[in-house]
Amino acid sequence: MEKRILGIDPGLATLGFGAIVCSTGNGTGQVSILDFGIIQTPAQQAIGDRLCIIYDDLHHLLNYMQPDLVAIEKLFFYKMGNTIAVAQARGVVMLVLAQCRLPFVEFTPAQVKQALTGYGNAGKQEVQQAVARELNLDKIPRPDDAADGLALALAAWFQS
C-alpha cells in the first residue's frame, strides 16, 4: 500500500514543502522523496496579493502531488509581527486543505524534533541531518524551509 504525505512549513515570505511516498508490505515500511521546494512571495507586494500567491500555488501543488495526508506546523511564536504574518499564511493553507477535503495533522516544532531525533530540543542541524539520513540523501535538502517540510512529512509517517 502506498501513501503520499505532504509536509508544509507555513510562512508568508517563504512556505516550505516536502512530499514523501511511503509504502508498506511484508511487515516493513519504505519511504522516499516525491518532491520538495518552496513557495515564495515578493516582499514588495501587498499582503493580500502575497496570500493569493500562496493560495493559487498551493492549489497547483496539491493537484500535482495528490497527497493522502498533509502535515502542517503548528503556529510557533517568534516575534509578534512575524507571528501575525505566519498566522495569515497558515490560515490560507488550512483554507485550501479544507477546500480540497484533505486530512491533515499538526505538529509543534518540538514534536517534529522529538519524532526525528528523539530529543524535543534538538537543533535545526540535527533535524536536517535526520531528514537526510531517513531519506537516504547524500546531503541536506535546501533551502531550510523545504527541509522543514520534509521533516513534517516524516513526523506524520512515523506517527501513522
Domains of the chain (ranges plus CATH)? 2-159 (3.30.420.10)
Q: Is 67 exposed, middle or buried (0-12, 13-18, 19+ CB in 10 A)?
A: buried
Q: Is 57 annotated as a binding residue?
A: no
Q: Which of 35, 57, 73, 106 is catalytic?
A: 73
What's the pLDDT score for residue 121? 85
Higher pLDDT, 56 or 24: 56
- Identify whether 145 is a catalytic site residue: yes
Distance CA 86, CA 67 (A): 23
Q: Kindly report the pTM of this predicted structure.
A: 0.93
β-strands 69-73, 2-9 pairing: parallel
Q: Which of 57, 68, 144, 145 is catalytic?
A: 145
Strand order in the sheet with 28-40: 28-40, 14-25, 2-9, 69-73, 104-107
pLDDT tens for 28-86 read 678 999 999 999 999 999 999 999 999 999 999 999 999 999 999 987 665 556 788 88
Residue 135, all three cell numbers = 531519506
| 9: nearest Cα among 125, 155, 126, 150 | 150
pLDDT tens for 80-137 read 567 888 899 999 999 999 999 999 999 999 999 999 998 888 888 899 999 999 999 9
CB 88 within 8 A of CB 51: yes
Distance CA 23, CA 29 (A): 6
Q: Which of 2, 9, 138, 148 is catalytic?
A: 9
Mean of the per-residue pLDDT values for the chain? 92
- Identify whether 35 is a catalytic site residue: no
Q: Is 145 annotated as a binding residue?
A: yes
What's the pLDDT score for residue 68? 97
Q: Is 118 left (phi over 0), alpha (psi -120 to 50) or beta?
A: left
What's the pLDDT score for residue 26? 55
What's the pLDDT score for residue 61? 97
CB 75 within 8 A of CB 83: yes
Q: What is the mean pLDDT of residues 12-22?
A: 96
